[in-house]
Structure 1
Amino acid sequence: MSKNFKTFRTVILAAVAATTGIIAVGATPLAAHEHKEAAAPNIVETAQSTGVHNTLVAAVTAADLASTLSNPGPFTVFAPTDTAFAKLPEGTVSTLLRPENKGTLTNVLVYHAVSGSVTSADLIKLINKHGGEATIETLAGQNLTARLSGDNIIITDAKGRATAVTTADVQTSNGVIHVTDGVFLPA
């Protein structure tokens, strides 16, 4: 199975709520990798293969979310890099990874996930449709706000922290990953 996600077929699968501006995506099966004998890696396998998502993978494992994010989904995950996690105040990651903080860690992680497969084109369409700013409902039940800054998609969390999508539309067998340069913090 190839670890090079540039070889994955681009799949555009998503529905956007027409009037609310909140992304509401139904479960839609994704196309298989071009080689029928080898399916594309899922979200967790893809994150494990990048070399820049080690902290995210450790956090997903500590929160017991690896099996959930390996399920058929589809899911959209805004995936902070190791560098993004390193920008948090010193000790934040190690504190979150402690077993007694599993609930808080889980809440932070599901705040980075959306039900359905939402591409950058879907986000841009929604942003434009709603006057330059769109609300995204996460699996944590809290919202993120998406807007454009030039050609970049910027996501703002509940704490008002703006984070850029640095790599969009990494297709997986169970959804899509958008790599971010920051970590979202829920309210």
Structure 2
Amino acid sequence: MKASESKVVRKFEMNGIKTDVITLHRPAPEDGVAVNDLIDDCPPLDINSHYCNLLQCTHFSTTSIKAVLDDELVGFISGYITPDKPNTLFVWQVAVSAQVRGRGVGKLMLTELLNRATRQQVCYLETTVTPDNRASWALFTGIAKSMHTSLSKQTLFERDKHFAGQHDDEVLLRIGPFSR
């Protein structure tokens, strides 16, 4: 999917009338500020620099995805192919605007991103999640279940050892293998 292409993924119903249409796109450099603002509005996500978000929207646009509703960014997933594991997509962050949370936007974005990635050589998804991030745990365990594949977990970065007590543990989730 090119940056200018889009895919209608969900029409939401309100009082039995289909109203809202969310589209998925590859991010573009012009999305950097909006991505930064979205992540800022999605605690407990770690805030990245504006420059980092610009790089995610350029260098990593093929492994990232945005969700748009009425010309407004309402979702963003950043990811990259792990350098020492070319068959693994690492999902860095999943951000979903409060206005569409609980409506399956995160799962839609992640499913489309995996569909794109598995057409290449990706067979696994990895991410890290803090132990208390219930939304992320639900999203990733749900993806593993819906795709009928396994999920393994192990602590990757420890609060005291790697974060000097200033950040919660980060648990590595590995989902897959996915069939192409």
Q: TM-score higher than 0.5 here?
A: no
Give TM-score, length-normalised by structure 2. 0.32
Bigger RCO of structures 1 and 2 (CA < 8 A, at least 6 apart): 1
The structure with the greater share of residues assigned to strand is 2
